[in-house]
Amino acid sequence: MDRLWAIWRVAYIRVANKQRGCIFCELPSERKDFENLILLRSKYAFLMLNKFPYNPGHLMIAPYRHLGSLEFLKEEEVLDMWRLLKLSIRALKETMAPDGFNIGINVGKVAGAGFEGHVHVHVVPRWNGDTNFMPIIANAKVISESLESVYRELRKVIDEVKEEKA
């Protein structure tokens, strides 16, 4: 039997079914942005890296208010989240040059929402050829860049864009 070692996954496995509370409420309140992978805070929402990404650069955008679905968002929250989405795409294009994006919102557990009580948007960069045999044969996904490295690259571009608009 061949063995595939993906030891970084154990951190997710240990917390996946034990998660209490809401990361989208708790992490911003801690004010430890680097440790919690929060890239940018705006007035009504924030942008963060997914700690357990599908691909390098997998981002999430969430409002500060704990809401379970899009229809409960105020107009200013929607607009703020959309601005963060546009910024995310620009930053990912400049730092990682993806060929495309999967952008989605999972509403409800049946739709795949890991945190079904707090609506959030996923932004997943995609590259031609980024799908391969690993998820199918080995039930594992290969992530080729560290979270810290991706965070620093994206943060640099985000800070530059903020300065342009100032």
Amino acid letter, 36 = N
Query: In the structure encoding, which two tokens stand for residue 161, read together?
Result: 């864009």
H helix count then E strand count, the chain: 4, 5
Q: Which residues of 26-41 are buried (b: 16+ CB within 10 A; e: fewer)?
A: ebbeeeebeebbbbbe
Helix (H) or strand (E) holding 59: strand 59-63
Per the listing, tokens 């992530």 go with 143
Catalytic-labelled residue, pool 58, 66, 118, 120: 120
Residues 6+ apart with CB under 8 A from 32: none
As a whole number of angstroms, the distance between CA 70 and CA 92 comes to 24
- pLDDT tens sequence for the chain (166 residues): 455 556 666 665 666 556 678 899 999 999 999 999 999 999 999 999 998 888 899 999 999 999 988 999 999 999 999 999 999 999 999 999 999 999 998 877 776 667 778 899 999 999 887 765 555 555 656 666 788 989 999 999 999 988 777 5
As a whole number of angstroms, the distance between CA 55 and CA 17 comes to 22
**What is the model's pLDDT at position 1?**
47
**What is the model's pLDDT at position 145?**
76
Query: In the structure encoding, which two tokens stand for residue 50, read together?
Result: 């997914």
Amino acid letter, 38 = I
- CATH fold of 9-165, please? HIT family, subunit A (3.30.428)
> Is 120 labeled as catalytic in the residue annotation?
yes
